[in-house]
Chains A and B, each alone.
Chain A
């Protein structure tokens, strides 16, 4: 597992250990405040970027969107959670630091933990298999598999195994999915 994925996993385990022994007050309020601040700051960060999108560049994120949400709906009966919650978990597109807290706030700790871990696993497994996926299937498959992380944490990995064209498309795909995740998750949970 990649270094960037280990820190959040360790922090989650540490938090669970602390929470198992110490009952802390105002946890939900703290989560809400931090989450609201995080979402506002993410919005500001995205708003500052100057990006020109071409229709061709939207191909990869749209396919990733379809390829992510349909399996999210298919696995819902196996997991035993409502379809909209399962699809919302998938709609994190690998952005575990957003999907986990957001779904915890709206649906509770169990669904939030699944959201956090499934999105973390998506990024970690994609990065661990980056070379294999790009060589055996193609760079489009790698970018789609990574999801939202293809614009930041995973970009160096894409650059390592794919050509420059794919680095640009990877960034744009990640950007589009990063814009979509905070919009789609609350909308899906509101269904």
Chain B
């Protein structure tokens, strides 16, 4: 947990104070794609494919709940 936080904060500090010129924004989506593929491989390796209908249902439930929750929060505050 702390390793992730520390890396993130270190990254912000590097970006703010050293301002590297490398075009990181172009690399990020490809890194994310590789990561997603490898996660897929791990899911396949762990054999949780049989639970996919349940996983899909849970994922949709969370997605729709948080969307509705966010919309309600904004409507209640009259920001919309």
A: residues with CB less than 8 A from B are 7-8, 11-24, 27-28, 30-31, 34-49, 59-60, 63-64, 66-68, 70-72, 74-75, 78-79, 86, 89-90, 97, 100-102, 104, 106, 108-110, 112-114, 116-122, 125-126, 133, 137-141, 143-145, 147, 182-183, 185-187, 189-190
Contact = CB atoms under 8 A, between A and B. Distances in A.
Contact of A113 (B20, B45, B55, B71): B55
Interface of B: 1-5, 7-17, 19-20, 24-25, 27-28, 31-49, 51, 55-56, 58-75, 77, 79-80
Contact of B71 (A75, A119, A145, A186): A145
Consensus secondary structure, chain A interface: helix
Contacts of B10: 40, 43
Contacts of B77: 59, 63
Contact of A27 (B19, B42, B56, B71): B42
A55 to B, nearest CB: 13
